[in-house]
């Protein structure tokens, strides 16, 4: 019973207290300026309240049970200080109760912080420090959790973008002019490795389910003004991830010196990796990274996702830029043209992405540097192109060569064919490069319509190069012994040019008229070949030529026949060893030889059969015609002297 009584009394007292407190509050609200005496009384009142925190707002007093709260939430937080393992690994409930505890402590800290007058009270000060201490532990823990989540949920995207891998290894345009005569040259065709249609898509660099966790951590860390710590951890981990990814792409860290000293093969390999990696990195990886930054930091306003992104991507970009710079610093070389064009094209193609990723607002020079690099690569490409032209003009034979298709012709034509695959880029780059020296413009004769192909800058340059090649071949042919061989050499090579042009896309750039002219040249050399090879032998077969020779000295028909056969055998011996690889051309030559020479022989034999005498005719016309078929087969034969007397 006594208990019940005392409870009732207690209850009454509580009511009184509440009513009195309300009175005080109302009075305080009404009165803004407290006198010292009043303050003293209130302060006494304050110290009478055990274990309670008194808060003031607009001079009014609010009581909250801070100590209890700090104790309660502090326990939730401090439990993880001793517990091993990660909170987020224990499930969402644990994580959200932890975050909740942190938020509550933050609230208390904030409330206390906004009333500095309270801090003069020793008790409150102590509570405040304790709350700060707990909060500090929590921030430290959250940072670890953040790094753990970032690493654990990092996603490495892949194979479909990695499919160019095999491409990187096979070098297709690594021949140099120097090696041209030593190496057999396969097709120079460049691998067109422009990205797949899907290369525009974004990927999740962090598993989507982790994003909300990261954001909730960000939110409490930012609330505690721990944004710097958050960003630092975020940047470092993402930077490492990018570095690892570049290692997967096998991008190597090279110095400028290394790159400048690299041989053509290594350079070509590195360059292709560059082209391939840059596309993936910019178009997929960094665009996704940028989205991630926006996703996580976008709502906080305090840090710019832009700036964080630059911190993550910056150093990797410098690596790409510096490799490009090193390439562009090198001496322009024809064999590097296609590599540089690949680099130029990929960079030009990525420029819009680069501009949006590294815009000027970020204060970063990366965007500008890429633009500058693009123009330097363009200069280098133009320089290499001119260098190629110079080589075509001035290349001289360095060692003996045969009458067959010269590797220089092969190289140059393949080079031209490869140039065409870069049509748009080259048309853009070459438009201001003079195609001086020769008249290469198409002739609009016969009302023939000039296609856009024929008149584009690249076409003009291609025709100029082909003309220069012809000139070079003419000069080169002088190194061969004897006019007939020179003509065979030129025919072989011009024919090769014609075939290359006709059988490829080059055809539309050269135009039919130009090809006709080239074929005309071919015919001219064919006639010249017959003339220079056979004219002296054919003279022997002519009946009227010896008119000025006195009858006394006039050789008999028989000896003229013998002399002709001897000359034929001589020519047979040398020209069977010559090569005309093109069967059509070879056949044409056999036919015109038959027409010009065997016909004349048949006529001569027919007219003078009696004088010569059957037994002195070693070959009839058919036999000789068959022998002509042995010409240009590439294996030297001689007609057996056994048939001679």
Q: Which residues bind another protein (CB under 8 A)?
A: 119, 125, 128-130, 132-137, 139-140, 143-144, 147-148, 151-152, 154, 225, 228-229, 232-233, 235-237, 239-240, 242-244, 247, 252-258, 260, 314-316, 318-319, 322, 325, 329, 331, 363, 365, 369, 372
Distance CA 324, CA 311 (A): 21
Q: In sequence order, what are the beta bridge partners of 56? A: 61
**Nearest distance from C-beta of residue 236 to another protein, angstroms:** 4
Q: How far is the CB of 228 from another protein (least distance, A)?
A: 5
Enumerate the H helices of 48-121 as residue ranges.
66-82, 92-113
> Among residues 440, 243, 260, 273, which one has the least CA distance to residue 346?
273
CB 245 within 8 A of CB 285: yes
Kindly tell me which of 241 and 522 has the beta carbon lying closer to another protein. Answer: 241
What residue has token string 């056979």? 534
Residues 6+ apart with CB under 8 A from 588: 526
Rank residues 125 and 523 by Cβ distance to another protein and give the closer one: 125
Q: State the nearest-atom distance from the C-beta of 338 to another protein, in Å.
A: 22
Q: Closest distance between another protein and the C-beta of residue 142, in Å?
A: 12
Cα-based angle 612, 615, 616 (whole degrees, multiple of 5): 45
Q: What is d(CA 260, CA 265) in angstroms, rounded to the nearest whole number?
A: 13
Distance CA 87, CA 252 (A): 38
Please, what is the minimum distance in Å from the beta carbon of residue 226 to another protein?
A: 8
Which is closer to another protein, CB of 235 or CB of 413?
A: 235
- Tokens 């034999």 correspond to 605
Nearer to another protein by Cβ, of 231 and 420: the residue is: 231
Q: Which is nearer to another protein, 177 or 514 (CB)?
A: 177
Residue 424 CB, nearest approach to another protein (Å): 27
Write b or e for each residue in 256-289: b if 16 or more Cβ atoms lie within 10 A of its Cβ, otherwise e. eeebeebebeebbbbbbbbbbbbbbbbbbbbbbb
Minimum CB distance to another protein smaller for 154 or for 406: 154
Q: Of 96 and 136, which CB lies nearer to another protein in the complex structure? A: 136
Using a 10 angstrom Cβ sphere, with 0-12 exposed, 13-18 middle and 19 or more buried, the burial of residue 133 is middle
Considering the complex, what minimum distance in angstroms separates the CB of residue 81 from another protein? 12
- Please list, in sequence order, all residues whose beta carbon lies within 8 angstroms of the beta carbon of residue 401, skipping any fewer than 6 positions away: 181, 476, 479, 480
User: Shortest distance, CB of residue 328 to another protein, whole angstroms?
Assistant: 8
Closest separation in Å from C-beta 113 to another protein: 9
Tokens of 407: 């590797």
User: For another protein, which is the closer residue by CB, 239 or 558?
Assistant: 239
Task: Report how far residue 384's alpha carbon sits from residue 614's, in angstroms, rounded to the nearest whole number.
Answer: 68
Radius of gyration of the chain (CA): 46
What are the beta bridge partners of residue 43? none
Closer of 434 and 570 to another protein (Cβ): 434
Q: How far is Cα 171 from Cα 266, in angstroms, rounded to an integer?
A: 10
Rank residues 332 and 442 by Cβ distance to another protein and give the closer one.
332
In angstroms, what is the minimal distance from the CB of 147 to another protein? 5
* Residue 205, token pair as written in the block: 């660099």
Tokens of 427: 């048309």
């Amino acid at each position: 019973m006594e208990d019940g009584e005392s409870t009732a009394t207690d209850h009454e007292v509580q009511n009184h207290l509440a009513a009195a407190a309300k009175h005080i509050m109302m009075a305080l609200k009404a009165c803004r300026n407290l006198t010292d005496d009043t303050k003293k009384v209130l302060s006494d009142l304050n110290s009478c309240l055990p274990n309670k925190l008194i808060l003031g707002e607009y001079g009014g007093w609010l009581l909250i049970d801070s100590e209890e709260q700090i104790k309660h939430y502090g326990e939730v937080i401090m439990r993880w200080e001793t517990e091993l393992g990660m909170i987020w690994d224990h499930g969402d409930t644990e994580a959200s109760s932890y975050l909740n505890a942190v938020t509550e402590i933050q609230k208390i800290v904030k409330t206390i912080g906004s009333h500095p007058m309270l801090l003069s009270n020793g008790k409150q000060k102590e509570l405040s420090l304790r709350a700060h201490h707990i909060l500090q532990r929590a921030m430290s823990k959250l940072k670890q959790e953040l790094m753990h989540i970032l690493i654990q949920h990092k996603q490495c995207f892949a194979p479909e973008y990695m499919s160019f891998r095999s491409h990187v290894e096979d070098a297709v345009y690594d021949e140099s002019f120097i090696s041209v005569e030593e190496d057999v040259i396969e097709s120079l065709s460049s691998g067109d490795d422009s990205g797949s249609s899907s290369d525009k898509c974004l990927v999740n660099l962090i598993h989507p389910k982790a994003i909300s966790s990261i954001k909730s951590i960000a939110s409490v860390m930012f609330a505690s003004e721990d944004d710097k710590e958050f960003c630092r951890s975020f940047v470092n981990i993402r930077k490492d991830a990018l570095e690892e990814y570049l290692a997967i792409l096998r991008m190597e860290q090279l110095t400028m010196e290394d790159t400048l000293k690299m041989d053509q093969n290594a350079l070509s390999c590195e360059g292709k990796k560059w082209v391939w990696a840059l596309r993936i990195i910019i178009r997929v990886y960094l665009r996704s990274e940028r989205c991630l930054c926006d996703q996580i930091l976008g709502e906080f306003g305090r840090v710019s996702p832009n700036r964080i992104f630059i911190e993550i991507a910056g150093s990797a970009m410098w690596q790409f830029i510096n490799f490009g710079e090193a390439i562009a610093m090198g001496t322009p070389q024809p064999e590097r043209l296609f590599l540089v064009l690949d680099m130029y094209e990929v960079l030009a193609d990525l420029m819009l992405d680069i501009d949006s990723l590294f815009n000027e607002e970020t204060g970063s020079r990366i965007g500008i540097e890429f633009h500058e690099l693009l123009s330097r690569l363009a200069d280098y490409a133009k320089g290499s192109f001119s260098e190629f032209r110079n080589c075509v003009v001035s290349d001289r034979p360095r060692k003996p060569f045969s009458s067959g298709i010269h590797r220089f012709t092969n190289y140059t034509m393949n080079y031209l064919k490869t140039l065409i695959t870069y049509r748009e880029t080259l048309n853009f780059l070459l438009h201001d490069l003079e195609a001086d020296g020769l008249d290469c413009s198409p002739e609009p004769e016969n009302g023939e319509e000039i296609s856009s192909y024929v008149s584009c800058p690249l076409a003009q340059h291609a025709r100029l190069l082909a003309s220069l090649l012809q000139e070079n071949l003419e000069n080169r042919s002088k190194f061969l012994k004897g006019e007939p061989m020179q003509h065979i050499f030129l025919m072989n090579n011009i024919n090769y040019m014609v075939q290359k042009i006709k059988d490829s896309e080059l055809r539309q750039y050269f135009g039919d008229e130009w090809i006709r002219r080239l074929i005309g040249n071919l015919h001219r050399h064919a006639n010249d070949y017959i003339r220079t090879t056979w004219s002296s032998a054919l003279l022997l077969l002519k009946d009227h030529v010896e008119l000025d020779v006195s009858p006394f000295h006039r050789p008999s028909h028989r000896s003229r026949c013998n002399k002709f056969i001897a000359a034929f055998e001589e020519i047979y011996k040398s020209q069977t060893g010559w090569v005309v690889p093109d069967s059509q051309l070879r056949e044409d030559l056999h036919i015109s030889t038959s027409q010009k020479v065997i016909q004349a022989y048949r006529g001569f034999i027919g007219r003078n059969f009696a004088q010569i005498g059957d037994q002195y005719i070693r070959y009839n016309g058919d036999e000789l015609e068959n022998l002509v078929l042995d010409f240009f087969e590439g294996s030297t034969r001689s007609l057996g002297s056994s048939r001679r007397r």
